């Protein structure tokens, strides 16, 4: 009897082994890991910022730092040191940089006009109008920051302002570029700042 039981157990063990599938076969292979979708590589066609403290200055500086060909600026009040420095840095990188400012910038205490001219940035003054109130930049002929936002510290920190950064809208850029050239044509010549004395 004992031998019969042992024989039966051995037979069942052998029978079960016939259905054993090694873990290395495809029947138990792990499913491939799911990969995260790729991050978008394009920036939005329109991005809006609001002040106070809404990142308008940082957005403008980022666009200027990314410029590779040209920067055209029209500004009513231009006293923001970070934006002025970014404009000058664009000039230092060899970009074509042109700035048109309102006539008030000749006498405003903290105007960037002298700073820009000292850095050999071509800066004109538009004195034809009661106020040259445009606040725009045309960057590389394809990016347009514009809105109520003046290029000033108070516009960033204290005022309620808005800034639109518009990209890749060729028809709109053409209109703004045409208007820029019209204002440039009647603006004062960009006299350079006097050279520092060597004595």
Q: Could you say which of 72, 91, 102, 135 is catalytic?
A: 135
Q: Does residue 186 carry a catalytic annotation?
A: no
Annotated active-site residue 183? The verdict is no
135 catalytically annotated? yes
Which of 140, 153, 183, 188 is catalytic? The answer is 140
Task: Sort 116 into a burial class: Cβ within 10 Å, 0-12 / 13-18 / 19+.
Answer: buried
Selected catalytic residue, list 133, 153, 183, 188? 133
Q: How far is 195 from 75, CA to CA, in rounded Å?
A: 25
Other beta carbons within 10 angstroms of residue 16's beta carbon come to: 9
Looking at the annotation, which residues are catalytic? 133, 135, 140
């Amino acid at each position: 009897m004992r031998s019969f039981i042992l024989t039966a157990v051995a037979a069942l063990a052998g029978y079960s082994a016939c259905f054993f599938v090694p873990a290395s076969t495809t029947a138990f292979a792990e499913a491939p890991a799911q990969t995260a979708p790729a991050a978008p590589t394009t920036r939005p066609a329109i991005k809006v910022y609001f002040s106070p403290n809404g990142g308008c200055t940082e957005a403008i500086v980022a666009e200027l730092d990314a410029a590779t060909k040209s920067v055209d600026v029209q500004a009513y009040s231009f006293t923001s040191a970070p934006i002025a420095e970014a404009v000058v840095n664009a000039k230092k990188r060899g970009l074509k940089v042109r700035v048109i400012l309102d006539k008030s910038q000749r006498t405003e205490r903290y105007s960037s006009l002298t700073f820009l001219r000292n850095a050999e940035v071509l800066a004109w003054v538009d004195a034809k109008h009661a106020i040259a109130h445009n606040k725009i930049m045309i960057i590389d002929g394809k990016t347009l920051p514009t809105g109520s936002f003046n290029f000033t510290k108070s516009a960033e920190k204290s005022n309620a302002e808005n800034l639109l950064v518009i990209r890749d809208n060729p028809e709109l850029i053409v209109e703004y570029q045409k208007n820029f050239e019209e204002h440039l044509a009647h603006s004062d010549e960009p006299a350079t700042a006097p050279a520092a004395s060597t004595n």
